[in-house]
Amino acid sequence: MYELTVRTRFAAAHSLRDYEGPCARVHGHTWHIEATFRGCRLDRKGMLLDFGVVKAKIKTVVEELDHNYLNEIKPFTGSAENNPTVENLARHIYNRLKQDLDKNNLPAQIASVRVWESPDTSAAYSEV
Ligand SMILES: [Zn+2]
């Protein structure tokens, strides 16, 4: 089994609904993302996935979030359950990358997405 991990970052604002504390007010983070892909088969060039292709896919997802107020973007609108928490962001990015990989029939699967909200705090989402 091979794993590839790609890191990127974006800046965005959010606030937490039904939360008591400073995070209920609008504030921003530079969110750091680590997306890990997994697969058993390498192509004839010895690659699981081309980093250029992977970075382009992550860029598409990140551009939807970058320099936005996340509470106004689906799926983070509505109730506190949909709060743009670091956990929900990790799941959202995971699902978007999974959809994209499935659609393009690539030989690797998304394994996990970890989102860092600060240098000391992160959450990861995976389905395995
Ligand atoms: Zn925050």
Annotated domain spans of the chain: 2-125
User: Distance between CA atoms of 126 and 75, rounded to whole angstroms?
Assistant: 18
Q: What is the pLDDT of residues 65-84, one digit of tens each?
A: 999 999 999 999 999 999 99
State the Cα–Cα distance between residues 18 and 20, nearest whole angstrom.
7
pLDDT of residue 106: 78
CA distances from 103 to 25, 89, 109 (A): 38, 21, 11
pLDDT digits (tens, 9 = 90+) for 108-117: 899 999 999 9
- Give Cα separations from 55 to 29, 59, 63 (angstroms): 21, 6, 12
Cα-Cα-Cα-Cα dihedral of 66, 90, 72, 64, to 10°? Answer: 40
Residue 15 CA to ligand 1 centre (angstroms): 6
d(CA 14, ligand 1 centre) in Å:
6
Specify the pTM. Answer: 0.94
Q: Which residue has the tokens 């997802």?
A: 61
How many angstroms is it from 85 CA to the middle of ligand 1?
A: 7
16 CA from centroid of ligand 1 (Å): 8
In CATH terms, the fold of domain 2-125 is Tetrahydropterin Synthase; Chain A (3.30.479)
Q: Is the pLDDT of residue 57 over 80?
A: yes
> What is the Å distance from ligand 1's center to 28 Cα?
6
CA distance 128 to 114: 14
